[in-house]
Structure 1
Amino acid sequence: MADEMVRRAQKFINTTYGNGATLGIPKLDENGQTGWPVMYALTRALQYEMGITVLSNNFGPGTLSALQEKYGKLDETTIPSANFCRIVQSALYCKGYDGGDIDGKYNSRVKDAVVKLNQNMGVSGTYPGSSLWPKVVKGLFNMDAYVTVNDGSETIRSIQQWLNGRYVLRKDYYVIPCDGHHSRDVAKSMILAIQYELGMADGVANGVFGPGTQSGLKGHTLSTGSSGVWVQLFTAAMVLNKRPVSFSTSFTSSLADSVRTFQGFMKLTVNGQADFQTWSSLLVSYGDQTRQGEACDGVTKVTPARAQALKDAGYKYIGRYLYNPSTTDLPEKEIQPGELATIKEYGLRCFPIYQTWARSVDYYSVAQGAADCMNAAFKAEEHGFKPGSRIYFAVDYDAVNDEVTSHILPYFRSIKEQMGQLGSPYKIGVYGPRNACSRISEEGYADTSFVSDMSSGFSGNLGYTMPENWAFDQIVTKVVGSGDGRIEIDNNITSGRDTGQGDFYPAPSQKLDIGFDLDYWAALLKEADDYMEDIGRPGGVGYVYTRQQCLETIMSHDAAITSAARRYRMRKALIQTSAFWEFCHYSYKDVTEDAGVVLYHTGVIPDWGKDLPGVSKLVDSSTGVAKISGRTCILSRNNSIRAGLLEGEILDPTSESDRWAMWQKCNQDNVFNLSTIPHLHIWAADGKSGDHDETPIDRPALDYSDTETFEILRRYQGFGPQAEADAQLRMPLYAIFEKYNRVIRES
């Protein structure tokens, strides 16, 4: 909303200081809206009026020093000129205060505004009256708010005001916002306050959580019954970390209970006291860096000697990278051949990380998210991570909040959508600063966070609380072991939300299939269509889709089929053949039966089935792309769950409600339907328990023989002469798909 007095301020700047070449002040848009361009212009104008020759957008030490030396304070007795006063009046309006008529007069309206400004800043006790002192002027010429904004907390605002009032006279302390929100400036002011209370002199206190500050804090453990300014600082730190406590001078039993909750959440020693570890975790993102974590991550191969060294040092979980696009930089960054077997042999567990670049905002896009998800899933399958493993996608730079909104969230939304298109083989985690992790997780794009708390200077860590779903907390780089066992790692605290993977598929015996190359589409379509025409299948009338439509549908879900084939180490042609054959044979009789299933379970014929003749109640039917019934879906998926190949709940194939739930997914979700085919093949190889019992054979593999392939194709359809005959007809179709898949994967 436009403010007329802000518009007048902008007009004053343009009219008086519009020579951008001289002062570096570009022409302002006279829109009545405050913002950094206006504040920068006012800062330069103020510097110009003070006689500073090198102008800057920044109200830095030079400007502050000049203000102190020339005027001491600003009021009606010291303001040197009308334009100088107009600049102050304009700044007051841009901060939401009544600056008078921008007439160059430090009148009663201006004085009242200054009194209110000092009160809002919390410095009226230090700076009584209506004069503007230099540090207040510095706070006036920025975009900080001194009233609560955007649902700010009044308790946090009272802390901000208290800090300003108590420490504003210290040399390196500057007025912080009083907007009710934790921030970088507030975090630094808290450390400065700690340092001042420890007795550090001006020039020594610097807002850095260094050895002197840490040593001093170790002597200020608080517990129930403690009181005074140290309890005020501690409760302030608790409030800023969103703990439900009062800002107080008394350490109560209620406060001790809240401390225990916080300590438990952060995996600290739970004692209800304000000890050094608790102080540290409240004040800086990495906390006490001497803590020993149970997890680590690194860019170095875990050899047997290093695995033993890590185990001896107390580590259980190791983060390793799925991919490294460089062949020269960090040559051991990507998981190396045999490494996961070593990790398993030594009783360790691994959690996979995916990062190529990811170090600037321009990396992140919807297209990049889809590409990264695909590559990460394929690499995870290649390395042997089983379904249900969680991949941590990286935000490895200081992403500010606006960039999280504009780039990071769309990137992770794309990852989630693409993972769904792959059949959801892996869970999604996020590695990054606190703010990015929290916001991505709140949107439902990641279920756990690997927090880069070691980067304590990141704006996405300063002033932000620990994500509620944190799994790993990266706090310090260290070296473990010696000699052949020496390895540099990042030390991570664990919450227990993710324990990585301790068992892996062996390395594939042959090349895994990859995504389809559309250059081969026309040839594949012609060959598959010609073959089906030659054998007269499906043939006749009564079928819903053309063969081309069927193949287009199958190939449109190539990502899910490829991912499933790689995951379960089978040829994707085995999935494609079953899906294409069944979909080609999807008839109006099948549609009528599908309508009957809906009628049975809902009592209503669906709109799409109302014109079909002969719809009658039916508990289940073979439905969807691959014509899978609710019952066989349950049986096959139960088999894979029991075998540890799939995460999920064991369902009852005799339960009508379970069958109906699975039937709906098979009918409505093509990805789910197609992703079930591998489980049907595995179940068939295992003997089809719960159905027509078959003799178990080896599960589908990359080197499956023609005899085994035939048997699996036959078992998909059932048993008896018709199933045998149809399997014979599907073998040449399998050969067609495999021919093109082989060319693509070996090219």
Structure 2
Amino acid sequence: MADEMVLQAQRFVNTIYGTRIGMTVDEDGKTSWTMMYALTRALQWELGITALSNSFGPTTLSTLTSKYPALNQNTVPYANFTRIIQSALYCKGYDGGGVDGVYGARIQAAVSQLKSDMGVGGTTPNGDLTPKVFKGLLNMDPYVKVATGSDAVRGVQQWLNGRYLGRADFFVIPCDGRHSRDVAKAMLLAVQYELGMADGVANGVFGPGTQSGLKTHPVATGATGVWVSLFSAAMILNQRAVTFSSTFGSALVSETTAFQSFVKLPATGKGDYATWASLLISYGDQARKGAACDGVTKITTARATSLKADGITYVGRYLTSVSSTLPEKVIQPGELQTIASSGLRCFPIYQTQGRDASSFNYPLGRAAGYAAINAAQDHGFKPGTRIFFAVDFDALDDEVTSNVLPHFKGIVDSVAEAGGQYLVGVYGARNVCSRVAAAGHSTASFVSDLSSGYSGNYGYALPADWAYDQFVTRVVGTGTGSIEIDNDIASGRDTGQDSFNPARAVVADVRLDSSLHNSLMIDIGKYMESIGYPNDGGLKNFQHWKCFQSTVLDHDDVITQQSNLYRMRKALIQTSAYWEMRHWGPEDDVQDARVEAYHLGVPGGVRDSSTGIAQITGEAAIRAWNYCIAKGLVTGSTSDPANDGDVYAMWKKVQDEAFALQTVSLLHLWGAAGKPGGSNPPEGETVLRPMALDYNDKENFEILRRYQGWGDVAVDGGQKRMALYYIFEKYNGIARHF
């Protein structure tokens, strides 16, 4: 909703400063970072700073401090300077007294209220606008409690501002009742100040000096003073139900004991170093030893012995891997039996690339769910096992909303449709884990607290459902028993598995048993409907049953034969063919007619287009066949992709369903080789390893994506086809292990 006074402020900035500061703002009456940036630049211009910036940084602060250490009705230099202040006040929700350039009683009252809300009202005369308060005015931080905030947290925020604003590197933090990265850093600065660290030394980092100092400041029953205030503040920020106090009373003892039990520390009720560490930094006291670990190295008998000797019971290992540099990241043959026979238990982790938000969405979640189920069954994990799906990047809160939550909804849907035999866990930063759990998409969390700088860890409490808490990397054992691990605290919510089914061997595909046909068709139909393709085909596409019949059932012998001949999973052929036929629409019939017209010499025709159930162009088919003939993968005569007659002849041949499905397999072989001679992105296509039955997720995605081409559309299509691939693979896997 537009605010008339904010609108006036926007018009003032654009009129007076637009050309001067190199930017304008939308005149919509809504406060925004853009407006705050413009006001910051306007202030810099008035201060005579030539290198304008969106940041109210050290130069702006020092220049303002030297010229106007306290702005009031007697010191404000001129009207436009006042209008900048008035505009900022309105953008913050305070009464600026109009945008008239007069530093009157209403501005003084607004500044006084602002400083009171910040908790710094007693630092200077109430109507004076000091440089650090001005800096706080020119950002989007709230200084009143928001709907999701608490009075207790806001009290801590105001206390920190009021006590430490005079220190050189301490700036006004939000007072909205919500814990945050800025508040967490402010707490560390406060600890360092109370330890006696000088300005310039105190830096808000939980380093050796801070750790050493905290070890000399335990607090316990009867203690009083600022260290108790800091401890109770840290407890409040970790969502413990205590009162902010400078006295360590019985209520604080009780909550401290409860917190220690929650994070698996000795429940002494005292504020010792380990408890301080768990309150102030996500990884806590790294001198602890946890009963769990995870790693990328095979557990041999010697390594298992080292782990047991170090107190490890639970071992996290990866179901799959896309890494070529970590050959032992994925569970190795016989490893689970070694783990079990050594008295250890294993909890599985599923991770692909997943290093940014683009790797997470609903279709990819569906694919991840199916892929993890297939892999868990391949390795021999029994029903009831919890699989932890990794979010291994610093997901911002809006990315959790837009990408991570839909992704986990896809995982949950896949697991449910596969019979719900496995449980879904989440690995990630605290905020990721808490939000996925709150959405009902996970049953326990594996928290990446070792990544203390992640925005999702800094300022967030440990999730209530945590099962494993990753807190330090260390080397355990010596000689052949030496192994690097990420050490984890175990809460007992997940205990992994110590008994496994025999691993499923990597074997060739076979024909689909007729008993699987109906279930497979239903599962594919559900998935396609979930991404917007109705089973009745809608107004333009073939019906689901027809595509399934043509590309899966009618030619199962051909597909199986191609799979066995080239050691290619049937699912790659089935996915590409089904997906393309499912997308066949009236426009494709029009294109077919235009190709026929071209080769008949009729004006308006086109030389080539994708055609047939697998939507293959004549030229692409020629290049794939030529490549495979040259490699001895298939027999036949080569054709010339530059010759119209050859292109048209091949174009006609790929309209035959059996020939088209054979050509799909050759296109995949050509794709794995980098599509030599084909239409590729400017940097070309990389050469994959030779086709194999154990292709990993990354390789399968590349094959499916290359079938469609490159660019955003092909990537999006490839992501959606990955889930389809794993549905096919699920049933192919059942068939080959009957």
TM-score in same-fold range (> 0.5): yes
Distance 2:21 2:735 in 1: 59
1:379 maps to which residue?
375
Q: Does 1:359 align with 2:346?
A: no
> Residues 37-76 of structure 1 correspond to what in structure 2 (within 5 A)?
37-76=34-73
Distance 2:320 2:233 in 1: 43
1:159 maps to which residue?
156
Q: Which runs of 5+ in 2 are unaligned?
A: 522-543, 554-727
Distance 2:164 2:227 in 1: 14
1:464 maps to which residue?
460
1:15 maps to which residue?
15
Q: 1:73 to 1:556 in 2, by over 3 A?
A: farther
SS at match of 1:413: helix
Amino acid at match of 1:3: D
Deviations 1:233-284 (A, max 9, x none): 1111111111111001111112111111111010001001111111111111
2:179 maps to which residue?
182
Amino acid at match of 1:338: G
Aligned-pair identity (%): 58
Q: Does 1:413 align with 2:409?
A: yes
Amino acid at match of 2:288: R
> Residues 90-489 of structure 1 correspond to what in structure 2 (within 5 A)?
90-326=87-323, 328-489=324-485
Post-superposition offset of 1:70: 1.9
Post-superposition offset of 1:62: 1.5
Q: 1:83 to 1:115 in 2, by over 3 A?
A: same
Amino acid at match of 2:108: K
Distance 2:488 2:473 in 1: 9
Structure 1 contact 382–512 (Cα < 8 Å) conserved: no
Amino acid at match of 2:331: I
1:683 maps to which residue?
none
Distance 1:152 1:290 in 2: 34
Deviations 1:452-495 (A, max 9, x none): 01111111111111111000000011111111111111010010
Post-superposition offset of 1:140: 0.4
Structure 1 contact 148–157 (Cα < 8 Å) conserved: yes
Distance 1:321 1:395 in 2: 14
Structure 2 contact 378–505 (Cα < 8 Å) conserved: no
Amino acid at match of 1:131: D
Structure 1 contact 10–32 (Cα < 8 Å) conserved: yes
Structure 2 contact 292–487 (Cα < 8 Å) conserved: yes
Deviations 1:33-55 (A, max 9, x none): 11111111111111111111111
2:640 maps to which residue?
none
SS at match of 1:18: helix
Post-superposition offset of 1:516: 7.1
Distance 1:743 1:382 in 2: 11
Distance 1:466 1:52 in 2: 44
Distance 2:300 2:733 in 1: 34
RMSD: 2.8
Deviations 1:165-199 (A, max 9, x none): 11100111111111111111111111111111111
Distance 2:237 2:510 in 1: 50
Post-superposition offset of 1:549: 8.2
Deviations 1:347-394 (A, max 9, x none): 111100011111111111111001111111101110111111111001
Post-superposition offset of 1:81: 2.6
Post-superposition offset of 1:24: 5.6
Distance 1:199 1:185 in 2: 21
1:716 maps to which residue?
none
SS at match of 1:352: strand
Structure 1 contact 183–463 (Cα < 8 Å) conserved: yes
Q: 1:89 to 1:556 in 2, by over 3 A?
A: farther
Post-superposition offset of 1:76: 2.4
Q: 1:92 to 1:497 in 2, by over 3 A?
A: same
Structure 1 contact 319–352 (Cα < 8 Å) conserved: yes
Post-superposition offset of 1:80: 2.5
Post-superposition offset of 1:551: 13
Structure 2 contact 24–38 (Cα < 8 Å) conserved: no
Distance 1:388 1:206 in 2: 47
Post-superposition offset of 1:340: 0.9
Post-superposition offset of 1:304: 1.5
Distance 1:310 1:156 in 2: 41
Q: 1:145 to 1:314 in 2, by over 3 A?
A: same
Structure 1 contact 118–127 (Cα < 8 Å) conserved: no
Distance 1:181 1:251 in 2: 24
Aligned length: 537
Distance 1:325 1:402 in 2: 27
Post-superposition offset of 1:149: 1.0
Distance 1:151 1:216 in 2: 34
Distance 1:471 1:160 in 2: 31
Q: 1:515 to 1:337 in 2, by over 3 A?
A: farther
SS at match of 1:271: coil
Distance 1:141 1:742 in 2: 60
Q: 1:556 to 1:172 in 2, by over 3 A?
A: farther
1:2 maps to which residue?
2
Post-superposition offset of 1:98: 0.8
2:658 maps to which residue?
none
Distance 2:243 2:510 in 1: 58
TM-score, normalised to structure 2's length? 0.70
Post-superposition offset of 1:69: 1.6
SS at match of 1:34: coil
Q: 1:218 to 1:187 in 2, by over 3 A?
A: same
1:703 maps to which residue?
none
Structure 1 contact 434–461 (Cα < 8 Å) conserved: yes
Post-superposition offset of 1:514: 9.2
SS at match of 2:474: strand
Distance 2:552 2:5 in 1: 59
Q: 1:551 to 1:160 in 2, by over 3 A?
A: closer
Deviations 1:93-139 (A, max 9, x none): 10111111211111111111111111111111112231111110110
Structure with the greater alpha carbon radius of gyration: 1
Amino acid at match of 2:17: Y
Distance 1:25 1:82 in 2: 21
Distance 1:517 1:33 in 2: 62
1:79 maps to which residue?
76
Distance 2:365 2:732 in 1: 25
Q: 1:741 to 1:450 in 2, by over 3 A?
A: closer
Distance 1:315 1:742 in 2: 34
Distance 1:60 1:206 in 2: 16
Deviations 1:677-728 (A, max 9, x none): xxxxxxxxxxxxxxxxxxxxxxxxxxxxxxxxxxxxxxxxxxxxxxxxxxxx
Distance 2:448 2:338 in 1: 27
Greater Cα offset, 502-511 or 267-276 = 502-511
Amino acid at match of 1:5: M
Structure 1 contact 47–55 (Cα < 8 Å) conserved: yes
SS at match of 1:465: coil
Structure 1 contact 235–246 (Cα < 8 Å) conserved: yes
Post-superposition offset of 1:742: 9.2
Q: 1:145 to 1:308 in 2, by over 3 A?
A: same
Distance 1:360 1:204 in 2: 34
